Amino acid sequence: MSRIRKNHDERLTEILDAAEKLFATKSYDLTTVNDILEVVGIGKGTFYHYFKSKEEVMEAVLDRLTALIVEKIVIVADDSTLSAHDKMKQMLLYLNIDDEDNRTIIEELNNPSNAKMHEKSMYKINETVSPILAKVVEEGIAEGVYQTDYPLETIEGLIILSHYMVDTAMPLLDFDRIVSRARALVRMIELSLGAQAGSFAFLLEGFDNQN
């Protein structure tokens, strides 16, 4: 029985969908190229037409996730009807990627066993998102709600700090300790941006709802 031929984009999407599910359920380290081939139902020749290695697949999966985030926050950043702080609020909530479609893979990224994917995802998000957030910080400075001499560097540092204080720590710490770190992080954000105390408390809503 001959294989079903599919166009390039359709086959690429199938490979990425299969890899993403496997990375989320089996972990990146334990997933093999053969696992991906079996799920998609293709041979190695077809796979290597698209990717040279499993790591290239991971890069593509992370690029796709990052593109979804960027697409959402750019719309907010370009909305002239919103104040800088309202933009920042919506954009940071989008960065949580807390929707049903992406929750499983994001939880897997935060798993200590998937450190390699987590590091790469943090780098990609920081590299692509920081300049967009920094532009909004500059708007906030002009509006008088933020005060910092280093908008881009401050945002870059805060993204890295949030990953290590909260995201990476979640599987390792008890809930009370995570909440304590989250509250400290929110205060650090406010101080770093020169924002009013309590103005970033919205980031704690998810934690408070679990009490």
Write the pLDDT tens digit of every residue in 10-68: 999 999 999 999 988 888 888 999 999 999 999 999 999 999 999 999 989 988 988 88
Distance of CA 2 to the CA centre of its chain: 40
- Residue 208, pLDDT > 60, answer no
Q: Are 206 and 96 in contact (CB under 8 A)?
A: yes
Token pair listed for 76: 């907010």
- How many Å apart are CA 179 and CA 189, to the nearest integer? 15
Task: Please tell me the predicted confidence (pLDDT) of residue 178.
Answer: 85
Q: Which CATH number fits domain 64-208: 3.30.70.580, 1.10.620.20, 1.10.357.10, 3.30.420.40?
A: 1.10.357.10
Task: Please tell me the predicted confidence (pLDDT) of residue 163.
Answer: 78
Query: pLDDT-based confidence at 94, cuts 50/70/90?
Result: confident
Taking residue 79's Cβ as centre, other Cβ atoms within 10 Å add up to 12
- Residue 111, pLDDT > 80, answer no
pLDDT tens for 171-183 read 667 888 888 988 9
- How many Å apart are CA 141 and CA 144, to the nearest integer? 5
- Collect all residues with Cβ–Cβ distance below 8 Å to 50 and sequence separation of at least 6: 11, 12, 15
- What are the extents of the domains in the chain? 64-208
pLDDT tens for 182-192 read 899 999 999 99
Alpha helices per DSSP H over 26-150: 33-40, 44-50, 54-77, 84-95, 100-109, 115-143
Query: pLDDT-based confidence at 1, cuts 50/70/90?
Result: very low
- Residue 98, pLDDT > 70, answer no
pLDDT tens for 121-138 read 778 888 999 999 999 999
- Give the percent of the chain with pLDDT over 70: 81
- How many Å apart are CA 29 and CA 108, to the nearest integer? 11
